[in-house]
Structure 1
Amino acid sequence: MTMENLEISKDFLKQYTDLLKDWIPRNASLAIAMDGHYSYYFSGQHDIRLKEGEPIAAGSVAEKVLTLKKKVELIVDQTLSDFPYYGIGYPIEVRGKVGALIVILPPTYEKDKIGSVSMLTGKLEHEWFPVPIDHITHLESFQKKTFFYTEDGQYSITQTLKELTMRLPQTFLRIHRSYIVNTTCIERIARDFSSNLVVTLKDGTELPVSQSYVNEVRCALGF
């Protein structure tokens, strides 16, 4: 990364600071990518810890914007980033250089636009049961199958956790690649012998919080 590119990016953002504040959510982070790397990163509440000078990953929002030369909206999960996010990218040109401006938001941002589900229909043995969302304590992905849990038991469901993350209400929080938890069912949060966070539900179920979701969990639960 050259200092010229870094200065160009910072100058560009400074020119549009007031405009950006009008339409970008307060929890958003911002990045500018050009010349094959990220030349600028501003951390908002949803910090994915990008580093200036970091190369643009294949399949990322920035890469797609630069390839397609148009606006791109994409959920980036842990196959591409340690910190999942919902990205909105825009093609830009700064002093003759082609680049991408990326608005980085929590991965649940999209659900606000498409609406949350009020129930899930799960399969138990050979029957299907519609279950109200507030009866569900947590969801799990295991061996390429998805399950949700209630006080009455375990139900299988066809959707993936990635799909459900976009549709579940704000009370549901992704804490691990394999788990989504209903925050209203949390009894306490503590650390295990390895200093990793563990969520204990009111029914006694213990669920680990993976390192890549710690920042999101802390932000959502306010600790």
Structure 2
Amino acid sequence: METSFARLLSSFLKEWAPESSSIAIAAGDRYVKYIPSGHDLNLIEGQLVPKGSITEQVYLQKERVEGFVDKSVFGTSYYGIGYPIENFDSYSFGAVVLIFPPDFSSNQSSSLSFITGKHENCWKPIAVEEISYIESKQKKTYIYTHNGTYSSIFPLKTLELQLPKTFIRIHRSYIVNISYINQISRDLSSNLIVVLKDPEELTLTISQTYVQQVRRVLGF
């Protein structure tokens, strides 16, 4: 049942997702790929997506979902973080879910106070409050501050789990420091965009995948 796209996606996720997480990929009403790791739900490829699972919640809300799920769903409780995938192969919708032990919480792990960035041949610890936004581009991660641009060895998915709630994911390529948002408006195509204070008047597009999450967090 696994497709070539699912194989490609699972290969990417094994490289970029936290090592402690099992990974479940769903398309339509079934799981098409499962990669067990530290906390194993013993999912079977081809298994139906059950009610009450993080996957079902992603399907219903069509946005990033995270939370605790008790053992009534899979026989083992877990903490899941799910992401929607639009136009997944021949399906209109799919989901990727990172599976952690039940006592895990992304809030507990959001303890980064600095990120070490590299500029030319020097490394510098950067306080998170100095970061305006973080970008993933051509499989590399870039940190933008008032004093310059730095590269990081960590992918966006890892940083998203560890950054404080003052940061918000707005696009598969961008995480933004809310303190640096000057305004949110619409471009000529009616897409929501974030206008940052620093770099001056830089605009970043909010992708449809993250619109509802951004609206909920920022309250508009």
Range class of TM-score, shorter chain? 0.5 to 0.7
Deviation at 1:58, TM superposition (A): 2.7
What is the aligned partner in structure 2 of residue 55 from structure 1? 29
Contact 1:174 1:213 in 2 (8 A): yes
What are the equivalent positions in structure 2 for 1:36-47 lying under 5 Å apart? none
What is the aligned partner in structure 2 of residue 211 from structure 1? 208
What is the aligned partner in structure 2 of residue 140 from structure 1? 135
Give the Cα separation in 1 of the matches to 2:133 and 2:67: 26
What are the equivalent positions in structure 2 for 1:67-216 lying under 5 Å apart? 67=43, 83-92=63-72, 110-202=105-197, 203-216=200-213
Give the Cα separation in 1 of the matches to 2:123 and 2:184: 33
Sequence identity of aligned pairs in percent?
38
Q: Spell out, residue by residue over 1:26-62, the C-alpha distance to the aligned partner (whole angstroms, 9 max, x if none).
A: xxxxxxxxxxx9xxxxxxxxxxxxxxxx61333479x
What is the aligned partner in structure 1 of residue 19 from structure 2? none
Deviation at 1:167, TM superposition (A): 0.6
Give the Cα separation in 1 of the matches to 2:43 and 2:33: 10
Change (3 A) 1:99 1:132: closer
Change (3 A) 1:74 1:131: farther
Change (3 A) 1:185 1:121: same
SS state of the match for residue 141, structure 2?
strand
Gaps of 5+ in 2: 1-25, 45-52, 84-103
- State the structure with more CA Rg: 1
Gaps of 5+ in 1: 1-36, 38-53
What is the aligned partner in structure 2 of residue 12 from structure 1? none
Give the Cα separation in 2 of the matches to 1:168 and 1:212: 20
Give the Cα separation in 1 of the matches to 2:210 and 2:79: 19
Deviation at 1:88, TM superposition (A): 3.9
Change (3 A) 1:177 1:115: closer
Change (3 A) 1:157 1:67: same
AA paired with 1:57?
Y
Give the Cα separation in 2 of the matches to 1:126 and 1:178: 25
Q: How many residues align?
A: 157
Q: Spell out, residue by residue over 1:149-184, the C-alpha distance to the aligned partner (whole angstroms, 9 max, x if none).
A: 001111000000000001101000000000000000
Give the CA RMSD over aligned residues.
3.6
Deviation at 1:200, TM superposition (A): 0.3
SS state of the match for residue 193, structure 2?
strand
